[in-house]
């Protein structure tokens, strides 16, 4: 494919929001709080911050620059930068292809839980501050294979429809509308969580006062993996997005802004969740269910809670779209550019592969 004929981002602001949309999503609102709670709180946060600054940001800049220089998908990028005759470099690109499919197999399932919670919030089914009732509601959802698969397929249908529209009309257009709304609602949630009786002190201490004895090699590895996951690096995403960057885009500056905004959203999510965890007597190490139990409790305790709760899960569902689109684009770009599939056929093929991988 001629690089000049490829779709791309249309503005500097669009580049920033689309890249931020890839980084900001369920990783901030679901994965960061659950891993922080399971790994001792502030200790993991401290290592995560260092890993993001010292490892994640440099790798993100390099991947994006490689993508823009090659103006191609992840596999072709490594074809073009490899020393002459060293064909095996492209294996790294194929690893990105495989990583995107495997990550999407579980990530789209978690996004399905969020989609389901939009309707649960609207119906008032999850309006409770009782940890047992909240846990039972979440358990009923994830233990039902039919419901879980149906919601996963809904997620794939929504994101597949967007990815078919292309880079500028699909990915960039959605990101422009999504990211600002999510920031605003998270701020509202933080204010409410910090004013819960008895929760702010213990919650903030857990999040920001590290116990260095809990920083084990396993915690360091978890934090490093979280940094890679949150910045969408090591999986072909930034290589692919970089190929759509404008020539006048300042990549180090953009990457730094994305990194800082991504950290801010993670911290806001932590501030919104952990005071509520202690105020209502939830278990910080609850794992994947933590967000789905604490967020309803926070909103239930405030006026107009059902409306705000529904809006929060709706925006979180939309937030998951940005990261899903970035992973889908890795596979779609490879199928369309290296195998000559039309974009619509490449998108449908990608969705079908993920749907099959997601069943187990």
Say if CB 323 and CB 232 are below 8 A apart.
yes
pLDDT of 8 strictly over 70: no
pLDDT of 61 strictly over 50: yes
Q: Which residue has the higher pLDDT, 360 or 162?
A: 360
pLDDT of 7 strictly over 70: no
In a 13 Å sphere around the CA of 113, the CA atoms on its Cβ side amount to 22
pLDDT (0 to 100) of residue 64: 93
Say if CB 166 and CB 328 are below 8 A apart.
no
CA distance 175 to 344: 20
For 25, which DSSP code? Answer: S
Q: Write the Ramachandran bin of 197: left for phi over 0, alpha for psi from -120 to 50, otherwise beta.
A: beta
Average predicted confidence (pLDDT) for the chain:
85
Query: Helices in 71-143 by DSSP H: which ranges?
Result: 74-81, 90-123, 131-142
196-219: burial string, b at 16+ Cβ within 10 Å, e else: beebbeebbebbeebeeeebeeeb
pLDDT (0 to 100) of residue 172: 53
Say if CB 279 and CB 198 are below 8 A apart.
yes
Q: For 185-227, what is each residue's pLDDT tens digit?
A: 788 888 888 888 877 889 999 999 999 999 999 999 999 999 9
pLDDT (0 to 100) of residue 221: 96
CA distance 284 to 228: 23
Q: For 322-341, what is each residue's pLDDT tens digit?
A: 778 888 889 999 999 999 99
- Under the banding of pLDDT at 50, 70 and 90, the label for residue 3 is very low
- Measured distance between the N- and C-terminal CA atoms of the chain, rounded to whole angstroms: 36
Stretch 108-119: mean pLDDT: 92
Q: Which two tokens stand for residue 297?
A: 């409790």
Rg of the chain over Cα atoms, rounded to whole angstroms, equals 20
Sign of the alpha-carbon dihedral angle for 274, 278, 283, 289? negative
pLDDT of 51 strictly over 90: yes
Say if CB 302 and CB 296 are below 8 A apart.
no
CA distance 233 to 94: 14
For 31, which DSSP code? Answer: I
Q: For 271-327, what is each residue's pLDDT tens digit?
A: 988 998 888 888 888 888 888 888 888 888 777 778 888 888 887 887 787 778 888
Least confident of 70-79, 216-225, 249-258, 312-321: 312-321
Distances (CA, A) of 257 to 184, 200, 231, 244: 18, 29, 12, 18
- Under the banding of pLDDT at 50, 70 and 90, the label for residue 48 is very high
Least confident of 158-167, 173-182, 201-210, 224-233: 173-182
Q: Which residue has the higher pLDDT, 8 or 315?
A: 315
Share of the chain above pLDDT 70, in %: 89
Least confident of 20-24, 34-38, 85-89, 141-145: 20-24
CA angle 316, 16, 346 (to 5 degrees): 70
Distant-in-sequence contacts of 335-339, Cβ < 8 A, 24+ apart = 336/1, 337/1, 337/72, 337/73, 337/76, 338/73, 338/75, 338/76
Question: Phi and psi for 11 in degrees, rounded to 5?
Answer: -150, 160
Q: Which two tokens stand for residue 295?
A: 């967020």
Say if CB 56 and CB 228 are below 8 A apart.
yes
Q: For 80-92, what is each residue's pLDDT tens digit?
A: 888 888 888 889 9
pTM attached to this predicted model: 0.84
CA distance 171 to 177: 11
């Amino acid at each position: 494919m001629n690089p000049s004929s490829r779709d791309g981002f249309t503005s500097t602001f669009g580049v920033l929001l689309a890249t931020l949309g890839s980084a900001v999503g369920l990783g901030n609102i679901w994965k960061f709080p659950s891993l922080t709670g399971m790994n001792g709180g502030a200790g993991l946060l401290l290592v995560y911050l260092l890993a993001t600054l010292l490892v994640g940001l440099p790798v993100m800049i390099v991947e994006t620059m490689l993508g823009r220089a090659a103006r191609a998908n992840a596999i072709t990028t490594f074809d073009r930068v490899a020393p002459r005759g060293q064909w095996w470099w492209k294996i790294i690109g194929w690893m990105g292809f495989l990583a995107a499919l495997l990550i999407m197999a579980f990530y789209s399932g978690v996004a399905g839980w969020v989609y389901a919670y939009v309707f649960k919030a609207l119906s008032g089914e999850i309006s409770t501050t009782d940890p047992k009732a909240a846990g039972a509601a979440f358990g009923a959802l994830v233990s039902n294979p039919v419901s879980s698969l149906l919601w996963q397929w809904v997620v794939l249908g929504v994101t597949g429809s967007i990815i078919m529209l292309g880079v500028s009309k699909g990915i960039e257009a959605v990101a422009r509308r999504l990211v600002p709304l999510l920031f605003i609602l998270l701020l509202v949630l933080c204010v409410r969580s910090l004013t819960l009786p008895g929760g702010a002190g213990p919650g903030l201490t857990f999040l920001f006062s590290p116990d260095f004895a809990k920083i084990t090699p396993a915690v360091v590895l978890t934090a490093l993996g979280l940094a890679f996951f949150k910045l969408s690096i090591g999986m072909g995403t930034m290589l692919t997005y970089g190929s759509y960057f404008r020539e006048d885009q300042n990549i180090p500056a953009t990457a730094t802004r994305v990194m800082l905004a991504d950290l801010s959203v993670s911290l806001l999510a932590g501030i919104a969740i952990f005071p509520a965890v202690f105020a209502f007597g939830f278990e910080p190490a609850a794992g994947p269910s933590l967000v789905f139990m604490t967020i309803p409790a926070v909103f239930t305790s405030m006026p107009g809670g059902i409306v705000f709760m529904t809006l929060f899960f709706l925006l979180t569902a939309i937030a998951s779209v940005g990261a899903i689109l970035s992973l889908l684009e890795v596979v779609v770009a490879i199928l369309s550019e290296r195998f000559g599939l039309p974009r619509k056929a490449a998108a449908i093929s990608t969705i079908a592969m993920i749907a099959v991988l997601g069943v187990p």
